[in-house]
Amino acid sequence: MIGYTILYFFITIVVILALYFTINTIKYRRKKETKMEERQLVEVDRDVISKKLSNAVKIPTVSMTYPEGDSKYFVEYQQYLEKTFPKFHEVATKTLVNEYSLVYYIEGEDKSLLPACFLAHQDVVPAGDGWEENPFAGVIKDGYIYGRGSQDMKNQMISVLEAIETVLQRGDKLKRSIYCCFGHDEEPGGKEGAKHIVEYLKSKGVKLEFVLDEGGIFLDGKIFSMDGKIALIGTCEKGYVDIKLTAKVNGGHASMPSKKTALGELCDAVAKVEQNPTKARFTEPVNDLFDTLVPHIQGPLKFVLGNRGLFGPIIKKVLMQKGMTGALMHTTMAPTMAKGSDAENVIPNTATANINCRILPGETIESTRAYIEKVVNNPNVEVKVGDYAVEPSDVSPKDSDSFKILGETIKEVFPGVVPAPFLFVAGTDAKYYYDICENVFRFAPFELSDEDRNRIHSKNERCKIDDLTKAVQFFVALIEKTCE
């Protein structure tokens, strides 16, 4: 009798697993795609658009939180935009927010439609040294525009403005209104720019159909056993917090050290943080990413990722091996700064360190602080939240009309690409817009190589002219599909 019970049990398990795999196989079967109509892309003058970006790069709009920053360059930059895009400035209503941030509004004919909104930021990070060309000379050579801000992100701002200029110059009528919101301090967090812009828009009762900012990238599909490329569209972003560790132990002369020192306690605390990463888990945006990709994946990986309920622990372990993929799976904690004594022969009374954390959706600033405090577990080390912190953003829906149209436009302009939602692991101005918009997306229509991606915030930043012209074509197509 017991033998039959065991046999029935195993048969039941096999049947359940068979049903599970069958259902998932059907669920992730690649649907027959409707053939996209071939879109006639607008012609873009390479020389003209490259010079417009080159001249924009020449104006060193370094964020004013840095010593190199100067407000006069933001005034000069805005004057340059007015001169460079005359039709846009003739039609658009311009509002300055908090002195330097720009809000442009172009009214559409159909007031029942919520406006579209395109974001970009005027500011750039300091150039640093080691450049082959002057970082603020806007040098054009070998098919590229070189300079700080050529990728992050004056290229996207110039592309958006050129697209709208093109549409207006040919006399197209806009049904949907358009906002262009250009903050002036995205690099240090957007507290003086984007945050104030959203407060201004809220005071006017503005609600938006969609927001499109920088963030999403093109990824080689080979890493997921796919043909072609993946266009990652950020539907949310991780939160941000700096956790300050402060160790306090009486110091003194370095020739007579105590058994415990502030710096020793601090180093022990930092080591514990590094040795105890937060647990990996599948969040909504990561599941959305895999659900979208699985039908296009080939080979065994399709079966594994399509059955995350069974293979989850293995998948998590593999993804956590790499910094980029691991960042999708857990709240990261990176030691970035530390300070002890001001003199070589003095044991400090206080030592401090900074842990830069990027918070996974579903977790909070306080849960992150509490986790680090629990891991450190030392009464001599204080664990506090730093001056700047932002909770993880909401997750925008992947099944909205706005997301679908964005994906369709990507496929029309970049044939063979698979658009997919994902979790953006860094920060953008877009995080402030959820109060006035449900569909907040991050996507940059520039097919960067890994080499050029690594130049952002580093030396020899550059933008390929072919990519710049394609970006203008993309934004024209998106405006035609959403606003005309």
412 catalytic residue (yes or no)? no
DSSP states of 375-406 as a string? HH--TTEEEEEEEEEEPPPP---TTSHHHHHH
DSSP states of 188-204 as a string? TTSTTTHHHHHHHHHHT
Q: CA–CA separation, 69 vs 221, rounded Å?
A: 40
Packing angle, helices 46-57 and 465-483, rounded to 10: 100
What is the CB neighbour count within 10 angstroms for residue 23?
10
Residues constituting the chain: 484
Q: CA–CA separation, 410 vs 402, rounded Å?
A: 12
90 catalytic residue (yes or no)? no
Packing angle, helices 154-169 and 465-483, rounded to 10: 50
The two tokens of residue 58 are: 């020449």
Phi then psi dihedrals of residue 159, to 5 deg: -65, -45
Q: CA–CA separation, 169 vs 362, rounded Å?
A: 46
Which of 162, 186, 187, 412 is the catalytic position?
A: 186
Burial annotation 221-245 (CB, 10 A radius, 16+ → b, else e): beebebeebbbbbbbbbbbbbbbbb
Q: CA–CA separation, 100 vs 89, rounded Å?
A: 17
DSSP 173: P
Q: Rounded to whole angstroms, what are the CA distances from 5 to 12, 18, 287?
A: 10, 20, 37
Phi then psi dihedrals of residue 456, to 5 deg: -65, 130
**Opening angle at CA 25, ends 19 and 26, nearest 5:** 90
Q: CA–CA separation, 152 vs 317, rounded Å?
A: 33
Alpha helix segments (H runs only) across 28-124: 46-57, 71-84, 86-91
Give the catalytic positions in this structure. 123, 186
